[in-house]
Structure 1
Amino acid sequence: MNMALRYYFDLMSQPSRAVYIFLKQNNIPFDPKPVALRKGEHFTEEFKKLNPFSRVPFIDDNGFILTESVAILRYLSQKYNVPEHWYPRSDIKKQSRVDQYLNWQHLNLRLNAAMTFQHLLLIPLMRNKPVDQKKVERFKLGLAESLMYMETYFLKDQMFLCGDDISVADILGACELMQLNAVMEEKLYESNPVLDAWMKRVKARLQPNFDEAHQITYRTCEIYKKTKDNLNAKL
């Protein structure tokens, strides 16, 4: 008997949010399996039996375990035959454009946005130490370069990252940038008219699922506002 697709995720995780939004946007039925990373639930023996990498997101499709958000999005696109604009299947050039972004983002936008967030909030909290401003500035420099390439190479004169319609690349990109909102650094992209307009287009296309998936991000921002002075001084 076929079971519902099981989705393991934590909406504090950018890739988890991206897959969650994609599932919702395409009305793909799934059994939600939230994992509280802050509680270390991904390190339990029960979790490791399913995913030895101790990461989210991952899916269990009737016994077929698949990790890594990019692989999951490609799998879901093909299995559920979603509209071509999400991940083109019939046009190899359009597909390759999406793949190009998916491969690029790991060590560029994803790395720099995630590490900016972590060094401003998570690492100081976990280690009970003030923010390491040198590391923050280092990743902000990398982030500035990534944003430049998003504007001048991926977007150029088109509406979305890989063409004139939204794709999985846009979901992943937007979810990464929203991590900056959690630490009040959204000006890093909102100050760029091209990126700001793109972000607004992506959000509009993905509502109401975008805001639903980012409720925890909005709450984290409120927490950060209250603790910012302590994080920058002494916890």
Structure 2
Amino acid sequence: MSLKLYVDALSQPSRALLIFLQASNIPFTKCIVKLGAGEHLSEEFKNNISRFQKVPVVIHGDFHLTESVAILRYISRENAAPNNLYPKDSKLQARVDEYLEWQHTNIRANCAMYFRKKWLEPKITGEELSEKLLLPYERRMVDSLNDFENLWLSSGAFITGDTLTAADIWAACEIEQPRIAGYDPESERPVLSRWLNNVRKSLSPHYEEAHTLLNKLVQKSTMKKASSKL
């Protein structure tokens, strides 16, 4: 299966799909879309790549598809996904899907919104949100992370048990995102921290490569925070 994958390294679903394809040894061409430069908003992107003007996007022949989970399932139906990452067994696959459906209004929604309000929007507008206005976003994120640790990490080393699946990839990429905004999701969550490090190690070196930009931004934010205290 030859694919074109359109991604941006700051997009959590882009990173998840990139890691998944690499870990699956599926050949593809990576096409970088610079969201910060508004490349996804161009008429060319809208007309030729995706009418939704978002990433990730895959093009397979003349077939264009958006939404990372839909892409995951499409690849699986095309018989290219390895069984361990997206099982063909109906019940095992349902467990992966169960998490992927749950995360939309939990981990994804709340981690992404905190990141957006704390880091992304101030970077764009130059105006920081007050601590009072930011607090509800942080509380919802914290609740989601606690729920994730308590509800999904009690049955083994990974979300669905002792085998890493796509659910772990998608979850980890979302949970990494708040680190850019200065929030450490591993702090005081030993079970989550152990799981996240299991995911990182299991997917090395693809995981580190996909998170190169994120880790640079985390380091930059940490240095800035440290210098402000001097």
Please report the TM-score for the alignment, with normalisation by the length of structure 2: 0.92
Task: Give how far 1:226 is off.
Answer: 5.1
Q: Distance in 2 between matches of 1:229 and 1:200?
A: 25
- Given the alignment, which residue of 192, 211, 215 partners 1:214? 211
Task: Give how far 1:229 is off.
Answer: 9.0
Q: Distance in 1 between matches of 2:133 and 2:194?
A: 29
Q: Distance in 1 between matches of 2:224 and 2:118?
A: 11
Gaps of 5+ in 1: none
Counterpart for residue 149 of structure 1: 147
Q: Distance in 2 between matches of 1:228 and 1:43?
A: 33
When residues 140 and 99 of structure 1 are mapped into structure 2, their CA distance, relative to the original with a 3 A threshold, is same
Q: Distance in 2 between matches of 1:162 and 1:149?
A: 15
Task: Give how far 1:26 is off.
Answer: 1.0
Counterpart for residue 42 of structure 2: 44
- Given the alignment, which residue of 129, 132, 135 partners 1:134? 132
Counterpart for residue 63 of structure 2: 64
Please report the TM-score for the alignment, with normalisation by the length of structure 1: 0.90
Counterpart for residue 190 of structure 1: 187
Q: Which letter maps to 1:85?
A: N
Task: Give how far 1:198 is off.
Answer: 0.3
Q: Distance in 1 between matches of 2:157 and 2:223?
A: 37
Q: Which moved more, 1:68-77 or 1:36-45?
A: 68-77
Task: Give how far 1:94 is off.
Answer: 1.3
SS in 1 for 2:186: helix
User: Once superposed, which parts of structure 1, at least 4 consecutive aligned residues long, lie more than 4 Å away?
Assistant: 226-231
- Given the alignment, which residue of 3, 11, 23 partners 1:25? 23
C-alpha contact (below 8 Å) 2:155/2:161 kept by paired residues: no
SS in 1 for 2:160: coil
Counterpart for residue 95 of structure 2: 97
Summarize deviations over 1:112-160 as a string: whole Å, max 9, x none.
Answer: 1111111111111211112332343212211222122222221113111
Gaps of 5+ in 2: none
Q: Among the aligned pairs, what percent are the same residue? A: 39
When residues 43 and 204 of structure 1 are mapped into structure 2, their CA distance, relative to the original with a 3 A threshold, is same
Task: Give how far 1:220 is off.
Answer: 1.3
Q: Which letter maps to 2:105?
A: L
Q: Which letter maps to 1:216?
A: L
C-alpha contact (below 8 Å) 1:147/1:189 kept by paired residues: no
